[in-house]
C-alpha cells in the first residue's frame, strides 16, 4: 500500500509535465529500455519535454461579474479562483492527447474559473447560481479522466467553471453492522483507504489511477479496480448516492436491493457529471484483509491462457487479482525490466515447453491464512489442465509493488517522443480472441510508419463468468501531428470494436469497460445503445438539467 500522506502532498493539478510535480516519484527509463525502444520503434533520439509554463497562453476568464460576485458571497473569495495557474490546472484530464496539449499549450480548453465548495449544500447552491447566470459546470474529481470527461467545454453557455470537489473530503459515517460507509465525493482513494482502515475496513478499489482519483469520479465513470474479481467493480460497491442537480437534491439507495422500478442509482453511477454532481456515496466495505499472496505463472499461448482464466471465472475460483498479459505484453515486460531476474526467467522459459509465454498474475486477499490457503488451492486446481510454468511469489509481488507505476513510466516515454496510450473494451468469452485480433490489427495498420510497426500489447484484467475486458497499450514513434496520429488510431480501433459483423449485431464489444464515454467515445455511443438509448439519456438530462449547464458535450450529445 502506498503512503497516503505523501501521495496526497504530491497532488497538484497545476502540473503539466505528468503524474507528479517536478518529476517527484518519477520513473526514468533505464538505458537498456530506452535503447531497445529506440531500435524497435525507430525513435529519432529527440527529447520532447513539456514547454515552459511561460509559453502557455491562457485566455482571460469570461465568468460574468454578477455570477462571480454571487459565488464569492456563497463560497468565499479564496474558493472562487480565476487565476491562470488554478484554471490551467483543471484544463482537461490525463489522456495522451490531454497531456500533449498541456505540454505544448496548443488547443487548451481552459475553464473560466475554479470553484471549491466545502460541502453538499454549497454544491447545490453553486448549481443554482450557475443556472441563473447561464454558466456551464464541469464536475472535477481527481482529473484523471482519459476520455475527455473533464474537458472544459462551455457548449452554448456564457462561461464554464471547473467544480473541484477536493474539499468534500470527509468520511461521513460508518455502519459496521451493515458494512456500509458514507464518503464524500472528493475523497481520494488513498485517503478513503486510510479513513476506512481506522475502522478495520477496506473498499478494495485499486485502479491504476488510485493515487489521484476520487470516490465521486469512480462512481461517475463506473470505474473498475485491479482487484475487481474479488471486490467487484465500483458500481457493485455503491449502495446509495446523494446528488446535486439543477432542479434540486436527489438521494437514492434506500436498501441493498429493491424492486421499486428500474435502479435509478445507475443514472448517477456512470452519469459522468452530465446528470448531476455526486456529493456523497454510500459504499459497501469489507474487513481489511490480514493475509495476502501474489504470485505469477506463465501459460502457453493467448487462446489457452484465456481459456484458463475463463475456467477460473466459470468455476468461480478467480483470484481477487487475475491479470493475464498476451504474448506481446509479456515479451515487452521482459525486455523493459532487463537485469538478472529477467535473464533468469528467459533461461527458465527456454528450458520449459512454453512456446508463447503469457504472464498470469494472481493475487488473493483474505481474513485468515486458512481462508487464503483454501481459495488459492481452488484456483490452482482449476489451472491443472493447462500447460504452465509457476514462477512463485516473486513475479506476483513485483507486479504488486509496481502496480501504480504506469503513469510515471508514461511521463518518461512522453519525454523521449513516444506515442503512448491505452484503450479498453469488453466482450463475451466466445468473441474475446476475435475482438483482440481485430483491435490489434486496426492499431498496427494505422500506426505502422514506413514499415516500422508499433508495439501493441494487450491484457485481460477483469473477468466474469460470461466474458472479460481487454486493455490495450500502444507504443509508437510520435508522428509530425501527434494528436491527429492518435485520433486516427483510436478511430480505427473503435471501428473494429463497434463493427457489426454477422453474429455481432451490437458490435464486437463495448465502447468502454471502465474508462467511460466522455467526449472521446460520444460519436459511437448511439451505435452501442441505439437511438432509443440516446433519447432516454436526453430525456433524463432534460428532467434533471433542463438548461443543460452540466458537463456539456459529455455522455449526452448536444
Ligand atoms: C494512468 C491512469 C490509469 C487509470 N487506470 C484506471 C483503472 O485502472 N480503472 C479505471 O476504472 N479507470 C482508470 N483510469 C481512468 C480514471 O482514473 C477513472 O475514470 C476515474 O474513475 C476517474 O476519477 P477522477 O476522480 O479522477 O474523476 P475525474 O477525472 O475528475 O472525472 C471523471 C468524470 O467524472 C465526472 N465527475 C467527477 N467527479 C464527479 C462527481 N463528484 N459527480 C459527478 N461527476 C463527477 C467528471 O465530470 C468526468 O466526466 C485511469 C486513468 C489514468 C490517467
In this structure, which residue's CA is closest to atom 9 in ligand 1?
Answer: 207
Assigned C-alpha cell, 207: 485502479
DSSP secondary structure, 164-178, as one string: E-TT---EEEEETTT
CA angle 40/41/47 to nearest 5° reads: 120
Series of mean pLDDT values for 10-residue runs along the chain (558 residues): 34 55 65 91 85 79 97 97 89 91 85 97 98 98 96 96 96 98 97 98 96 96 97 97 98 95 95 98 97 97 98 98 98 82 76 91 96 98 96 92 86 91 97 97 94 95 97 96 96 96 86 98 95 97 98 91
Q: 272 C-alpha to center of ligand 1: Å?
A: 9
pLDDT of residue 485: 96
pLDDT of residue 18: 61
The residue segments making up the domain with residue 244 are 171-287
Q: Are 341 and 402 in contact (CB under 8 A)?
A: no
CA distance 499 to 522: 16
The verdict on 184 and 273 lying in the same domain is yes
Q: Give the 3-state DSSP-derived string for 298-349, with helices as H, strands as E and coil as C.
A: EEECHHHHHHHHHHHHHCCCCCCEEEEECHHHHHHHHHHHCHHHHHHHHHHH
Whether 355 is in a domain gets the answer yes
- Ligand 1 proximity of 185 Cβ (cutoff 6 Å): yes
Whether 73 is in a domain gets the answer no
Q: 143 C-alpha to center of ligand 1: Å?
A: 6
The CATH number of residue 295's host domain is: 3.30.70.3450
- Ligand 1 proximity of 467 Cβ (cutoff 6 Å): no
pLDDT of residue 6: 33
pLDDT of residue 353: 84
Residue ending a domain, choose from 403, 431, 448: 403
The verdict on 186 and 238 lying in the same domain is yes
In this structure, which residue's CA is closest to atom 45 in ligand 1?
Answer: 273
Whether 17 is in a domain gets the answer no
Whether 492 is in a domain gets the answer no
- Ligand 1 proximity of 217 Cβ (cutoff 6 Å): yes
Residue ending a domain, choose from 260, 287, 314: 287
- Ligand 1 proximity of 551 Cβ (cutoff 6 Å): yes
The verdict on 275 and 371 lying in the same domain is no
Sign for the pseudo-dihedral over CA of 130, 136, 141, 142: negative
CA–CA distance from 97 to each of 74, 105, 369, 421 (Å)? 35, 12, 46, 9
The verdict on 175 and 256 lying in the same domain is yes
Q: Which DSSP symbol is given to 29?
A: P
Q: 357 C-alpha to center of ligand 1: Å?
A: 33
CA distance 107 to 111: 13
The pTM score is 0.95
Whether 345 is in a domain gets the answer yes
Q: 282 C-alpha to center of ligand 1: Å?
A: 18
Mutation test of ligand 1: which of 145, 183, 517 has the most ligand atoms closer than 8 Å to its C-beta? 145
Whether 526 is in a domain gets the answer no
Total number of domains constituting the chain: 2
β-pair type (113-115, 159-164): parallel
Q: 289 C-alpha to center of ligand 1: Å?
A: 26
Among 324, 550, 414, 425, residue whose Cα is nearest residue 95: 414
Mutation test of ligand 1: which of 207, 269, 512 has the most ligand atoms closer than 8 Å to its C-beta? 207
Among 497, 503, 489, residue whose Cα is nearest residue 470: 497
Q: 514 C-alpha to center of ligand 1: Å?
A: 9
Mutation test of ligand 1: which of 139, 252, 423, 553 has the most ligand atoms closer than 8 Å to its C-beta? 139
CA distance 388 to 327: 14
pLDDT of residue 60: 92
Three-class SS state of 26? coil
- Ligand 1 proximity of 18 Cβ (cutoff 6 Å): no
The verdict on 274 and 307 lying in the same domain is no
Q: 217 C-alpha to center of ligand 1: Å?
A: 5
Assigned C-alpha cell, 510: 463495448
pLDDT of residue 7: 34
Residue ending a domain, choose from 376, 403, 430: 403
The CATH number of residue 267's host domain is: 3.30.465.10
Among 87, 99, 108, residue whose Cα is nearest residue 19: 99
Q: 440 C-alpha to center of ligand 1: Å?
A: 25
- DSSP H or E stretch at residue 389: strand 388-392
Give me the residues paired with residue 419 across strands: 476
Whether 540 is in a domain gets the answer no
DSSP secondary structure, 339-369, as one string: HHHHHHHHHHHHHSS-SSEEEEEEEEEESSH
The verdict on 253 and 304 lying in the same domain is no
pLDDT of residue 217: 98
DSSP secondary structure, 434-467, as one string: HHHHHHHHHHHHHH-BTTBPPEEEEEE--B-SSE
In this structure, which residue's CA is closest to atom 27 in ligand 1?
Answer: 217
Mutation test of ligand 1: which of 204, 209, 211, 459 has the most ligand atoms closer than 8 Å to its C-beta? 209
The verdict on 257 and 298 lying in the same domain is no
**Cβ–Cβ contacts within 10 Å for residue 505, how many?**
7
pLDDT of residue 23: 53
Whether 108 is in a domain gets the answer no
- Ligand 1 proximity of 150 Cβ (cutoff 6 Å): yes
Give me the residues paired with residue 182 across strands: 173, 282
**Atom of ligand 1 lying closest to residue 243 CA:** 42
Amino acid at each position: 500500500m502506498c503512503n497516503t500522506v505523501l501521495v496526497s502532498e504530491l497532488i497538484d493539478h497545476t502540473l503539466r509535465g505528468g503524474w507528479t510535480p517536478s518529476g517527484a516519484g518519477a520513473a526514468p527509463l533505464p538505458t537498456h529500455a530506452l535503447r531497445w525502444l529506440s531500435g524497435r520503434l525507430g525513435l529519432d533520439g529527440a527529447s520532447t519535454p513539456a514547454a515552459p509554463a511561460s509559453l502557455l497562453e491562457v485566455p482571460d476568464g469570461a465568468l460574468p461579474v454578477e455570477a462571480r460576485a454571487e459565488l464569492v458571497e456563497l463560497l468565499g473569495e479564496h474558493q472562487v479562483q480565476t487565476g491562470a495557474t488554478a484554471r490551467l490546472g483543471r484544463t482537461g484530464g490525463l489522456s495522451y492527447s490531454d497531456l500533449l496539449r498541456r505540454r505544448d499549450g496548443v488547443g487548451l480548453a481552459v475553464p473560466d474559473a475554479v470553484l471549491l465548495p466545502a460541502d453538499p449544500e454549497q454544491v447545490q447552491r453553486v448549481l443554482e447560481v450557475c443556472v441563473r447566470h447561464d454558466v456551464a459546470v464541469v464536475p472535477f474529481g481527481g482529473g484523471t479522466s482519459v476520455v475527455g470527461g473533464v474537458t472544459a467545454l462551455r457548449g452554448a453557455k456564457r462561461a464554464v467553471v471547473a467544480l473541484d470537489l477536493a474539499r468534500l473530503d470527509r468520511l461521513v459515517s460508518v455502519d459496521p453492522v451493515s458494512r456500509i460507509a458514507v464518503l464524500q465525493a472528493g475523497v481520494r482513494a488513498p485517503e478513503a483507504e486510510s479513513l476506512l482502515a481506522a475502522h478495520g475496513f477496506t473498499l478494495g478499489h485499486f485502479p491504476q489511477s488510485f493515487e489521484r482519483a476520487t470516490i465521486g469520479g469512480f462512481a461517475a465513470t463506473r470505474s473498475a479496480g485491479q482487484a475487481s474479481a474479488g471486490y467487484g467493480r465500483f458500481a457493485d460497491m455503491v449502495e446509495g448516492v446523494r446528488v446535486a442537480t439543477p432542479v434540486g437534491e436527489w438521494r437514492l439507495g434506500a436498501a441493498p436491493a429493491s424492486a421499486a422500478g428500474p435502479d435509478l442509482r445507475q443514472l448517477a453511477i456512470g452519469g459522468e457529471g452530465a446528470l448531476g454532481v455526486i456529493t456523497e456515496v454510500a459504499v459497501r466495505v469489507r474487513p481489511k484483509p490480514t493475509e495476502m499472496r501474489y504470485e505469477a505463472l506463465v501459460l502457453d499461448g493467448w487462446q489457452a491462457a484465456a481459456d484458463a482464466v475463463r475456467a477460473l471465472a466459470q468455476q468461480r475460483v478467480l483470484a481477487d487479482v487475475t491479470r493475464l498479459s498476451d504474448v506481446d505484453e509479456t515479451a515487452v515486460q521482459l525486455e523493459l525490466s532487463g537485469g538478472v531476474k529477467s535473464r533468469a526467467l528467459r533461461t527458465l522459459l527456454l528450458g520449459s515447453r512454453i512456446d508463447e509465454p503469457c504472464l498470469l498474475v494472481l493475487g488473493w486477499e483474505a481474513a485468515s491464512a486458512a481462508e487464503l490457503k483454501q481459495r488459492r488451492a481452488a484456483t490452482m486446481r482449476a489451472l491443472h489442465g493447462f500447460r504452465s510454468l509457476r514462477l512463485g511469489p516473486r513475479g506476483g509481488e513485483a507486479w504488486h509493488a509496481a502496480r501504480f507505476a504506469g503513469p510515471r513510466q508514461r511521463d518518461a516515454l512522453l519525454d523521449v517522443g513516444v506515442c503512448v496510450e491505452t484503450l479498453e473494451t469488453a466482450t463475451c468469452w466466445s468473441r474475446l480472441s476475435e475482438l483482440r485480433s481485430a483491435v490489434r490489427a486496426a492499431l498496427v495498420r494505422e500506426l505502422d510508419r514506413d514499415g516500422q510497426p508499433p508495439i501493441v500489447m494487450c491484457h485481460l484484467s477483469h473477468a466474469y463468468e460470461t466474458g472479460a475486458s481487454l486493455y490495450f497499450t500502444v507504443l509508437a514513434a510520435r508522428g509530425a501531428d501527434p494528436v491527429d496520429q492518435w485520433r486516427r488510431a483510436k478511430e480505427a480501433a473503435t471501428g473494429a470494436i463497434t463493427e457489426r459483423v454477422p453474429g455481432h449485431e451490437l458490435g464486437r464489444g463495448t465502447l468502454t469497460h471502465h474508462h467511460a464515454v466522455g467526449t472521446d467515445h460520444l460519436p459511437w455511443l448511439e451505435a452501442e445503445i441505439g437511438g432509443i438509448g440516446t433519447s432516454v439519456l436526453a430525456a433524463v438530462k432534460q428532467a434533471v438539467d433542463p438548461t443543460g449547464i452540466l458537463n456539456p458535450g459529455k455522455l449526452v450529445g448536444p
